[in-house]
């Protein structure tokens, strides 16, 4: 009798553990839709790696990605940052003191912009639209 109770308790523990693990795994999908992030298609035409940051006025910069020389990557702007209005995008270039930037740009959650770092590394060029 004790043995059957022990097996039953173990079975209940296993089932309970599986249920808790399943609920925990599905948790992120039940948080609500929220606002989608905004995307920047960043083209690095320079010869240097670019660490790309987004910053709101008066706030710390948030690194949104790294784009290697001669590459185009899709960078995600956090939805809360895009929802607040104008923000600035700038690039820190590997082994350079230059910090090209876009100046204030406006993008809404779910929108896409193209940002280009030309070979001369003087500024970031912003273009509208999908890629």
Domain identity same for 46 and 18: no
Domain identity same for 90 and 45: yes
- Please count the structural domains in the chain: 2
Read off the CATH number of the domain in which 72 is found: 2.60.40.2890
Q: Residues 75-92: what's their mean pLDDT?
A: 88
Domain identity same for 43 and 10: no
Q: Where residue 75 falls among pLDDT bands split at 50, 70, 90?
A: very high
Q: Which pLDDT score, from 0 to 100, does residue 46 have?
A: 93
CB 79 within 8 A of CB 35: yes
Q: Between 43 and 9, whose confidence is greater?
A: 43
Positive or negative, the CA dihedral 123, 125, 126, 131 is negative
Domain containing residue 21: 1-32
CA distance 56 to 62: 9
Q: Which pTM was predicted?
A: 0.70
Phi, psi of 74 (to 5 degrees): -95, 120
């Amino acid at each position: 009798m004790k043995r059957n109770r022990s097996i039953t308790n173990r079975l209940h523990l296993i089932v309970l553990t599986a249920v808790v693990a399943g609920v925990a795994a599905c948790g992120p999908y039940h948080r609500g839709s929220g606002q989608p992030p905004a995307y920047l298609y960043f083209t690095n035409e320079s010869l240097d790696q670019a660490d790309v940051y987004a910053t709101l006025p008066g706030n710390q910069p948030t690194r949104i990605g790294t784009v290697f020389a001669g590459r185009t990557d899709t960078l995600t702007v956090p939805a809360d940052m895009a929802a607040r209005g104008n923000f600035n995008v700038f690039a820190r270039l590997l082994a350079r003191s230059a910090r090209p930037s876009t100046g204030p740009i406006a993008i809404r959650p779910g929108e896409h912009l193209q940002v280009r770092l030309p070979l001369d590394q003087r500024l970031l060029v912003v273009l509208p639209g999908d890629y």
